[in-house]
Structure 1
Amino acid sequence: MQSTPDPVTVLVVDDEKGIRDGSERIISRMGCNALTAKNGEEGLDIIGRTDAAIVLLDLKMPGIDGMEVLKRIQTMDRDILVIVITGFATIETAIEAMKRGAYDFIPKPFEPDQLRIVVNRAREKIQLQKDTVKLEAERRRTLADLGTEKSRIHTIVDSIPNGVVVTNTDGQVVLMNPAFCRLLDLGADTATGGPISAYIPDEGLCRLIVEISRGLHVDFDDIPTCEFSFGGDRFLMARGRPVLGERKECLGAVVTVIDITNMKVLDRLKSEFVAKVSHELRSPLSTIHEQLALVLNDLMGQLSESEEHLLARAKEKTQGLISTIGDLLDLSRIESGSTCQEPKPVQLEDLLGNIVDFLGTRARTKAQSLTMDRPADLLPTLKADPLALESIFGNLITNAINYTQNGGEIKVKADMTGLNLRVRVIDNGFGIEARYLDKIFDRFFRVKNDKTRFITGTGLGLPIVKGLVEALNGRISVESVPDKGTTFTVLLPVD
C-alpha cells in the first residue's frame, strides 16, 4: 500500500510576483514548506542552502534563464524534481526542458487545482522513490525475481503513472508495469521474457535499449532520449539508463516511457501559426521593398542626404524582415519534415567547391582568404538532398565570413572518419565564449559584443543548419576559442 507523501520543501522561481505569491499560498495550504525566488541567481542560492525537493521553475526570466538553472540543478548531487512553468509561445522550450531531465511542466496561466495536481504528483514520486530505497535495503532481489514475484517493489513499480520496462543483459524484458502496456497497446496479460523488439515497434529505440542493457553506455551520462510515433497519432518519448550492481557491473536497463502527444500537438499548432503569419507578411513586405527601391532610383539626386538615408534605411530593414520570414518558413518546413526532398547522389567535394567559389567574392571584399582543402582520395558519393546540403554549408561559410575580421582566413576541409563524411569549416575570427556554445543553436540567439554588434542577422541560420543536419541523420558540433577562431564540424552518414 502506497504511503501518504511526506511534507516537502517547494521552491517557486519566477520573476512575476503574482505567480510567486499565489503559488506560495497554495503550496503552504498543502502542508508543504513554500519558498520563493524572483530570479535564477536567487533560486540557485536558496537551493544551495535548503533541502528543496521540488522546484517550480519559470523558463523565461531576466539574467540566468530557466534552462541554465535546470542545467545547474542537474549537476548537483541531489534528487530535485523540476517542474517548468511555460506559456504557449515557449512550448518547444518546455519539450527541450523535459528532454534535459525536467520532471513535468505546467502552462501559464494556471488554476490552483492544476498547481495542486502537478505538485502532488511530484510529492508522490518522491515518496515512491523513498519507499523503493527502503524496500531495496530490506531485501535485495535480482531483476528476474522482480518479474516473477509479487513483491512490494513490484507493486510500487505498477503504481507509477509513466511506463516502465526493465531488461536483462540480453535485452529481454523481465519487468513491465501496466502503464507501459497501456502506452504500447499491449494486453494486460502480456508475458515478459521476450526480446524488447517484441514490445516496442521502433527499431532504433530497441537497438539503443539493447546497447544499454549490455553495458555499452555505462560510462556515458548523456544517453539520448528517443521520440517515436505509435499508432500514427500518438507520440511517445523514452529514456533509458543502465542498472548497475554492487560492483558497478551492468545488470540490464530500465526504460521509462511518457506520452508527449499533447506537447507535439501544441508544437504543431505553433508551427502552423508561424507559417501562416509568415506567408501573409512576406507578400506585402516584398511590395514595400520594391517600391522603396523604385523611389530611391527615380528620385536619385533629388533627395536630400537625410531623406535618402531614411529611405535606404527603410529598404534595408524591410529586406531584413523578408529574410527573417524566409528563415521562419524554412524552420517550419524542417519541423514538418518536408524540408529534405528526394535524395540524389551528390559528390560532396564538388558541391563544396561550388559554394566556396560563389562566396569567394564576398570574402575578397573583406580581404579574406577562403580556401578548400580537397582530400587526397576521392570521397564516396553521398545520397542526400543537394539543396539541403547547399543550405547547410552555405550558412556555415557565410557565418565564418561575417564573424571573421578583415584579412582573416577561412578553410573548408572534407574527409572520411569511420563511416561518416566529415566537413569542417575553420576560421581564425572572433570566436565564441564557452558560456555561449550550448546556446548558439537556439532560435534568435546571437552573440553580441564589441566586435559583433554591428553584424546583422536573424539568429536563425544555425538553428536551420542543425535542423537540416539532423534531418539527414547527421550531427553538428562546434569548437571555439575567443579571438582565435571557430571550427564547425558536420558528420553525415554514408549510405
Structure 2
Amino acid sequence: MPVAKKSKSVLAALERIAFHLRFRGKLEDLLNDLTPFIGEAFGAKSVAIWLASEDGKYLRIASYFNLTPQFVQFFAQPEHWPRPGQGVVGRSFGERRMYVKHDLLNRPEVPETWKNLLRKKYIEATTLVSHPLFVQKDKPVGIVNLYFAEKKTFTSQERTTLSIIAYQLGVSIEGQSMYSSLRENRDELVHERDQLAHLHQAVQSLRISVEKNLSEILDELSATLGKAVGASGTAIWKVAEKDPDSFHIFMASGMSKVYVDYFKGHPVQISSLGRSSPVVLAALTKKPAFVNNFWDPETIKRFPQGILDAISKERIATVASFPLFDKDELFGVLNFYFAKVHTYSPTERYILQVAANTVSIAIENTEYREELQGTQKALLNILEDVDESRQRAEEERNKTQLIIAHFADGLMVFNEQGQVELVNPRAEQMLRLSKERLLHKSTEELRSFPQLNSLLALLKEKPESGYRKEFELWKNTFIEVSIILLKERGGGEGTLLVVHDITREKQIERLKTEFVSLAAHQLRTPLSAIKWTLRMLLDGDLGSLNPEQREFMDKTYQSNERMIALINDLLDVTRIEEGRYLYAPGLASIEKVIESVLELYKEEARRRNVELVFQRPKEQLPQALVDTGKIQLAIDNLIDNALRYSSAQGKVVVSIAQVGEEIRVSIQDAGVGIPGEEQKRVFQKFFRASNARTIDTEGSGLGLYLVKNIIEAHKGRVEFASEEGKGTTFFLTIPLAKS
C-alpha cells in the first residue's frame, strides 16, 4: 500500500475510534463499524476482535471483518474459545504483549485444531499479528488480530500505530461496557455521569502549566471534588524536613485557619499516633487509607489533647488519605475531608485516586516542570481527541529530534540486530563520517571504517548499561564512550552509545601531572637541604641545644620528613600517570618482604602501644616474580595505616598464605574503620575517610592509590572489608612465579 494512502487509512481508523470515544450505543455496532477501518489501515486480509469474559478465563470473537462463516462458526463454540496462555491469541492476552507470527502451520504454539482451519482454507493467513486491547497496562480487555495472506514484516512505526489504535480501541470498549452497565440502573447512571462530569472538570482545571502553582491547584481540586464526591476540604500533609518521623500541614483548602495554623506549628508524630491516624496509615503503607467514622473512639483514643482541641470545631466526619510521591519518594499525604459520615464507592475511590495522582504530578512539576510534559500528556490523553494527541506527539518528536541534533555529545543507536538506527550531527563530526554512510549498516559493514573499530569491539563485549571506556579516536583526540541499553518494543534490546570528547580533559590532566612533577622536583632540593641542616643541629654538629630547643627542632625535623614523604608520593603518582613508574621484577619471598617491613615498625608499634603480630605460614611458600622495592612500599603503606588508625592496646595482625596459584596477604586492624558510604572512593587519589581526618591530620591520601597501582601492575588484586568503628582488613593477592 502506498505510504500516503496507508497514512490516510491509519488516520481514518483513528478518527473513527476518536468519534466512538463519545459513542453511546451498542458495543456490537461500535466494533462492527471500526473493524473494517482497522483492516484497511494495515492492509490486512482479515480482522478479528476478541473480547475477554468478565472473569477473564476465556476470549471470544466479538467482531470480525472478511472472515469465512466456517471460521466464525468454529470459534462460536465454547470449547474452542481461547484461554489466556493458549495459542497466539491467549499468549498475547496473558502476557500483555504484541505477537507477530509467520508461517503459522509450522508454529508449535498454534493449536492443531486451529491449523486444520488453515489447511481447509477456512482462513487465508500466512502472518498473524495479535495485540492486546488495553485500558491500563495491567488490564487488557481483549485482543485485535490482523491476518495477512502474504508474509508481512511489521515495522516499528506500524507497531507503534497499532499500539495507539489498540489502546484507544480498548478505551472505547471499556467505555461502552461501563456505559452499558450504568444504563441498567437509571438513578445510579445519573449519579455516576455527574461524578464523571465533575472529574472531567477537575482534570481539565488541573492541567499542569507554568501559570498555576500548587496552591491554586489545591483550591480548584477542593471546589471541583466537592461537587463530584462531596468533599468539604483538602489538605496536603508533608514530611517534616528536620524530622522524617513527623508530618505537618503544607497547605490546605476549605479548612479553618485555626486548624491549619495548629498543624503547621505542631507536626503529627508517627510514633505517638501509630496507625490510628489516617495520615500516618497512608504514609506507612504507601496505600490509600479510609476512615468512615473519624470520631470513632478506637480512631481518636491515641490523639493528644492538643489535636483533639484543634479538630473539635471542624466539620470532619470522614477522611480519605492518599500518599503523595515525588520521584518515587514519599512527599506527604493528601487528605480529603467529608462533613458527613461517608462510604466510598469504587468510582469515588477512583476519582480521589486520580486527584491524588494529579497533585503528586503537580508537586513534581514545581521542581522538574520540563520533565513532566510527557506525564501531563498521559494524564490528559483520555480527555483529548485523537487529533490533539497526534499533534502533541508530533511536537514531542520534533523537540526530541531538536535536542538530539544539538546535543553536545555524539549519539549512536544500534538495534538488536546490530544495525545503526540513529546518528546525530555531533557524532558525524567526531567520527568524520556522514550519517548516510552509517545508517542501517551492520557492525560487519562498519568495520571498513578504522575509527569505528574500538566502538565495535566494545559492542561485541556486550557490557552492562552504564559502562564507560576511554579511547584514542584520532591522534591526540580522546573520547569517552558510555553504554546505555535500550528496551525495544517486542522485548528486544538496543544500545545507545554516548560519545563524549575528553581531549581537553586529557590535556588538562597532562598539564596538571607535569606541573605536580615539576613542583615536586623543585621542592626536593630545598627540603633535603633543610633535612640535613636540622639533622646537624639535632646531632650537635653546630653546637649543643637545650631541651626546649631540641624538642622544637625535633618537631620541625618530623614535619620536614612528612613533607619529603608527600613529595615522594606525588612523584610516584606522576610517574604512574605518565607510564614512567618502572618495575624491575625478580624472584622474591613475599614472607621475607613482610618481615623486613615489620622490623621497621617494631619501635613505632611499641610507641603507639599496639601489638604487631605476624602469622607465618606453617610451610615455606613459593617465590613470586615481583619488584621487591615496590611490593615493600605497598605493604609498608598498609601497615603504616593500620598502626596509625588503631587505638592504644589494639592489635594489628599480618598473615600470609598460598591460595591456589597465588599468594594472599592480609593486614587486619581493629581501628576506626571506613564509613560505608565512603568505601567506594578508597583507592582514589587524595581520598581520606572523614573519621580518619579527625584522628590524624597529616596523611596525604595517596598511599592506597599507590598500593592499588603497584599490585595491579603485578597482575594482582587489592580488596578490603571494613566496618566503621570495628576495623579494616586489606587483602593483597599476588600470582606465584610460573615454573
What TM-score bracket applies, with the shorter chain setting the length?
0.5 to 0.7
Q: Deviations over 1:40-73 (max 9, x none)?
A: x9xxxxxxx9xxxxxxxxxxxxxxxxxxxxxxxx
Q: Establish whether residue 287 from structure 1 lines up as the match of residue 519 from structure 2.
A: no
Q: Establish whether residue 194 from structure 1 lines up as the match of residue 409 from structure 2.
A: no
**Which of 452, 458, 478 lines up with 2:700 in the alignment?**
458
Q: Hey, what does 2:723 align to over in structure 1?
A: 481
Question: How far off its partner does 1:478 sit?
Answer: 3.0
Question: How far off its partner does 1:193 sit?
Answer: 1.3
Question: How far off its partner does 1:294 sit?
Answer: 0.6
Decide whether aligned partners of structure 1 residues 441 and 202 sit closer, same or farther in structure 2, where only a CA change above 3 A counts.
farther
For residues 301-340 of structure 1, the aligned pairs below 5 Å read 302-340=544-582
Q: Establish whether residue 258 from structure 1 lines up as the match of residue 475 from structure 2.
A: no
Q: Hey, what does 2:214 align to over in structure 1?
A: none
Q: Establish whether residue 354 from structure 1 lines up as the match of residue 631 from structure 2.
A: no
Question: How far off its partner does 1:442 sit?
Answer: 4.1
For residues 86-101 of structure 1, the aligned pairs below 5 Å read none
**Which of 395, 420, 425 lines up with 1:178 in the alignment?**
425
Q: Establish whether residue 409 from structure 1 lines up as the match of residue 659 from structure 2.
A: no
Q: Measure the CA separation in 2 of the matches of 1:464 and 1:298.
A: 37
Q: Hey, what does 2:60 align to over in structure 1?
A: none
Q: Hey, what does 2:514 align to over in structure 1?
A: 272
Q: Indicate if the aligned counterparts of 2:672 and 2:691 stay in contact, CA closer than 8 A.
A: no
Q: Deviations over 1:402-423 (max 9, x none)?
A: 3334451323445558x98765
Tell me the SS of whatever aligns to 1:437: helix
Q: Deviations over 1:271-317 (max 9, x none)?
A: 21111111111101101110110122126983221111111111111
Q: Hey, what does 1:20 align to over in structure 2?
A: none
Q: Deviations over 1:391-447 (max 9, x none)?
A: 333322332233334451323445558x98765433333322324324443444434
Amino acid at match of 1:251: E
Decide whether aligned partners of structure 1 residues 299 and 490 sit closer, same or farther in structure 2, where only a CA change above 3 A counts.
closer
Aligned length: 353
Decide whether aligned partners of structure 1 residues 323 and 260 sit closer, same or farther in structure 2, where only a CA change above 3 A counts.
same
Q: Deviations over 1:114-147 (max 9, x none)?
A: xxxxxxxxxxxx9799689989x99xxxxxxxxx
Q: Deviations over 1:171-211 (max 9, x none)?
A: 55443333223223335542321247666758776454334
Q: Hey, what does 2:474 align to over in structure 1?
A: 231
Q: Measure the CA separation in 2 of the matches of 1:134 and 1:199.
A: 42
Q: Hey, what does 1:82 align to over in structure 2?
A: none
Amino acid at match of 1:194: T
Amino acid at match of 1:270: K
Tell me the SS of whatever aligns to 1:430: coil
Amino acid at match of 1:314: T
Q: Measure the CA separation in 2 of the matches of 1:237 and 1:269.
A: 19
Q: Indicate if the aligned counterparts of 1:444 and 1:460 stay in contact, CA closer than 8 A.
A: yes
Superposed CA RMSD in Å reads: 4.6
Q: Deviations over 1:469-493 (max 9, x none)?
A: 5666765443212343212245678
Amino acid at match of 2:468: T
Question: How far off its partner does 1:236 sit?
Answer: 0.6
TM-score, structure 2 normalization? 0.41
Q: Indicate if the aligned counterparts of 1:413 and 1:425 stay in contact, CA closer than 8 A.
A: no
Q: Measure the CA separation in 2 of the matches of 1:262 and 1:277.
A: 22
Q: Indicate if the aligned counterparts of 2:479 and 2:501 stay in contact, CA closer than 8 A.
A: yes
**Which of 244, 252, 258 lines up with 2:487 in the alignment?**
244
Question: How far off its partner does 1:358 sit?
Answer: 0.9
Identity, in percent, stands at 27
Q: Deviations over 1:189-245 (max 9, x none)?
A: 423212476667587764543344xxx636xxxx43211112221111111011124
More deviation in 445-454 or 408-417? 445-454
Decide whether aligned partners of structure 1 residues 385 and 182 sit closer, same or farther in structure 2, where only a CA change above 3 A counts.
farther
**Which of 435, 439, 446 lines up with 2:688 in the alignment?**
446
More deviation in 157-166 or 309-318? 157-166
Q: Deviations over 1:318-369 (max 9, x none)?
A: 1111111111111111222222447x4656xx2x313211122244332534
Q: Indicate if the aligned counterparts of 1:163 and 1:180 stay in contact, CA closer than 8 A.
A: yes
Q: Measure the CA separation in 2 of the matches of 1:281 and 1:317.
A: 14
Q: Measure the CA separation in 1 of the matches of 2:447 and 2:639.
A: 43
Q: Measure the CA separation in 1 of the matches of 2:600 and 2:522.
A: 32
For residues 24-63 of structure 1, the aligned pairs below 5 Å read none
Amino acid at match of 1:193: S
Q: Measure the CA separation in 1 of the matches of 2:442 and 2:427.
A: 15
Q: Point out the structure with max Rg over C-alpha.
A: 2
More deviation in 323-332 or 392-401? 392-401
Decide whether aligned partners of structure 1 residues 310 and 463 sit closer, same or farther in structure 2, where only a CA change above 3 A counts.
same
Q: Measure the CA separation in 1 of the matches of 2:372 and 2:448.
A: 29
Q: Measure the CA separation in 1 of the matches of 2:512 and 2:492.
A: 42
Q: Indicate if the aligned counterparts of 1:340 and 1:471 stay in contact, CA closer than 8 A.
A: no
Amino acid at match of 1:396: L
Q: Hey, what does 2:117 align to over in structure 1?
A: none
Q: Indicate if the aligned counterparts of 2:656 and 2:663 stay in contact, CA closer than 8 A.
A: no
Q: Measure the CA separation in 1 of the matches of 2:715 and 2:432.
A: 29
More deviation in 366-375 or 456-465? 366-375
Tell me the SS of whatever aligns to 2:554: helix
Amino acid at match of 1:409: V
Q: Measure the CA separation in 2 of the matches of 1:375 and 1:165.
A: 58
Q: Deviations over 1:91-112 (max 9, x none)?
A: xxxxxxxxxxxxxxxxxxxxxx
Q: Indicate if the aligned counterparts of 1:421 and 1:491 stay in contact, CA closer than 8 A.
A: yes
Decide whether aligned partners of structure 1 residues 233 and 311 sit closer, same or farther in structure 2, where only a CA change above 3 A counts.
same
Q: Indicate if the aligned counterparts of 2:624 and 2:734 stay in contact, CA closer than 8 A.
A: no
More deviation in 307-316 or 370-379? 370-379
Q: Measure the CA separation in 1 of the matches of 2:416 and 2:552.
A: 70
Q: Indicate if the aligned counterparts of 2:624 and 2:735 stay in contact, CA closer than 8 A.
A: no
Question: How far off its partner does 1:169 sit?
Answer: 3.7
Q: Indicate if the aligned counterparts of 1:440 and 1:446 stay in contact, CA closer than 8 A.
A: yes
Amino acid at match of 2:527: L
Q: Hey, what does 1:209 align to over in structure 2?
A: 459
Q: Measure the CA separation in 1 of the matches of 2:493 and 2:678.
A: 38
**Structure with higher RCO (Cα < 8 A, 6+ apart):** 1
More helix by share: 2
Q: Measure the CA separation in 1 of the matches of 2:469 and 2:376.
A: 27
Q: Which runs of 5+ in 2 are unaligned?
A: 1-208, 212-241, 243-249, 251-325, 329-368, 387-396
Q: Measure the CA separation in 1 of the matches of 2:702 and 2:637.
A: 10
Q: Measure the CA separation in 2 of the matches of 1:77 and 1:468.
A: 43
Q: Which segments of structure 1 move beyond 6 Å, counting only runs of 4 or more?
A: 126-135, 150-155, 375-380, 492-495
For residues 119-138 of structure 1, the aligned pairs below 5 Å read none
Amino acid at match of 1:209: L
Q: Indicate if the aligned counterparts of 2:664 and 2:732 stay in contact, CA closer than 8 A.
A: yes
Q: Indicate if the aligned counterparts of 1:476 and 1:491 stay in contact, CA closer than 8 A.
A: yes
Question: How far off its partner does 1:258 sit?
Answer: 0.8
Q: Deviations over 1:443-468 (max 9, x none)?
A: 44434659972574333212322444
Decide whether aligned partners of structure 1 residues 303 and 355 sit closer, same or farther in structure 2, where only a CA change above 3 A counts.
same
Q: Hey, what does 1:428 align to over in structure 2?
A: 670
Q: Measure the CA separation in 1 of the matches of 2:566 and 2:705.
A: 13
Q: Hey, what does 1:161 align to over in structure 2?
A: 408
Question: How far off its partner does 1:259 sit?
Answer: 0.5
Q: Hey, what does 1:18 align to over in structure 2?
A: none
